[in-house]
Amino acid sequence: MPSRVAAAPKQAESFYQSREWRVLCAEIKRERGKACERCGSTDRVIADHIIERKDGGADLDKRNVELLCHRHHAEKTAAARAARAKGV
């Protein structure tokens, strides 16, 4: 087995596969409706942390979770990564 493949962030993966997170996502989608909270799109909507876990955001607090369409999730992820790289 190639060992370098295992260098991926294991912890983050297991969190997003956890029962607690899935249950929370299902609840939020049921409560808010399965649509992007920024534009209302229903394109591949996923629940996402507003403040990412690695930036100290709360894991299972609904107030730290928003529903984003595919496009807004991609934008948000890129912006968070850029901000982190700059150390802001």
Contacts with Zn ion, residue ranges (CB under 5 A): 36, 38-39, 41, 69, 72
- CA distance from start to end of the chain: 38
**In this structure, what DSSP letter does residue 76 have?**
H
Quote the least distance from Cβ 13 to Zn ion, whole Å.
24
- State CA 1 to chain mean position distance: 30
The sign of the CA dihedral 66, 59, 14, 52 is: positive
- Residue closer to Zn ion, measured from CB, 38 or 53: 38
> Which residue number, 44 or 54, has a Cβ lying nearer to Zn ion?
44
Of 59 and 75, nearer to Zn ion (C-beta) is 75
CB 72 within 8 A of CB 49: no
CB of 66 to Zn ion, least distance (A): 10
Q: Which residue is nearest to Zn ion (CB)?
A: 36
Minimum CB distance to Zn ion, residue 49 (Å): 16
